[in-house]
């Protein structure tokens, strides 16, 4: 088990380890988004009505799932770098912005666009993005000092 500690971020505190954990889980999420619509459909379980159309559409398609997987993978890479370079202001800010974008995306899909419904599929991403965003904001001074 000690060999695993070699791969953990070398910084104090739990935030770097959290960023690593979220990054690894998100990479797995990205892979599944390319292989199945099932889990993406749990997040985007609403229906979208586009201007000029009265017909609700299922928001999850193979293309949207792969796009979501790509976006998630890119965020994962940024967060992975932040786990190991958390004392670099530019990397820290980029990782912080990934959570701002994620929060804005999920909440807007839920409350504005209606493509997501509150439930198991949406609660996880909203909780992780909100909690991580607040945590990173509060810890800025600690890691930048």
Give me the chain's average pLDDT, please.
91
Task: Give the model's pLDDT for residue 53.
Answer: 67
Quickly state the pLDDT bin for 7 (edges 50, 70, 90). confident
96-104 average pLDDT score: 98
Task: Give the model's pLDDT for residue 38.
Answer: 86
**3-state SS string over the chain?**
CHHHHCCCCCCCCCHHHHHHHHHHHHHHHHHHHHHCCHHHHHHCCCCECCCCCCCCECCCCHHHHHHHHHHHHHHHHHHHHHHHCCCCHHHHHHHHHHHHHHHHHHHHHHHHHCCCCCCHHHHHHHHHHHHHHHHHHHHHHHHHC
40 or 18, which is more confident? 18
Domain locations in the chain?
12-144
Tokens (6 digits) for 110: 């839920």
Q: Look at 2-6, 35-39, 48-52, 93-97 and tell me which has the smallest mean pLDDT.
A: 48-52
Q: Is the pLDDT score of 74 beyond 80? A: yes
For the full predicted model, state whether its pTM sits above 0.85: yes
């Amino acid at each position: 088990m000690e060999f695993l500690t070699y791969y953990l971020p070398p910084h104090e505190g739990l935030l770097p380890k959290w960023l690593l954990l979220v990054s690894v889980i998100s990479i797995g999420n990205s892979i599944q988004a390319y292989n199945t619509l099932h889990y993406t459909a749990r997040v985007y379980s609403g229906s979208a009505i586009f201007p000029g159309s009265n017909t609700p559409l299922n928001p999850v398609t193979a293309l949207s799932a792969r796009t979501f997987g790509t976006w998630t993978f890119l965020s994962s890479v940024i967060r992975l770098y932040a786990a190991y370079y958390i004392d670099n202001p530019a990397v820290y800010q980029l990782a912080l912005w990934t959570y701002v974008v994620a929060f804005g995306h999920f909440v807007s899909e839920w409350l504005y666009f209606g493509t997501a419904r509150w439930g198991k599929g949406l609660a996880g991403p909203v909780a992780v993005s909100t909690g991580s965003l607040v945590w990173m904001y509060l810890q800025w001074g600690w890691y930048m000092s």
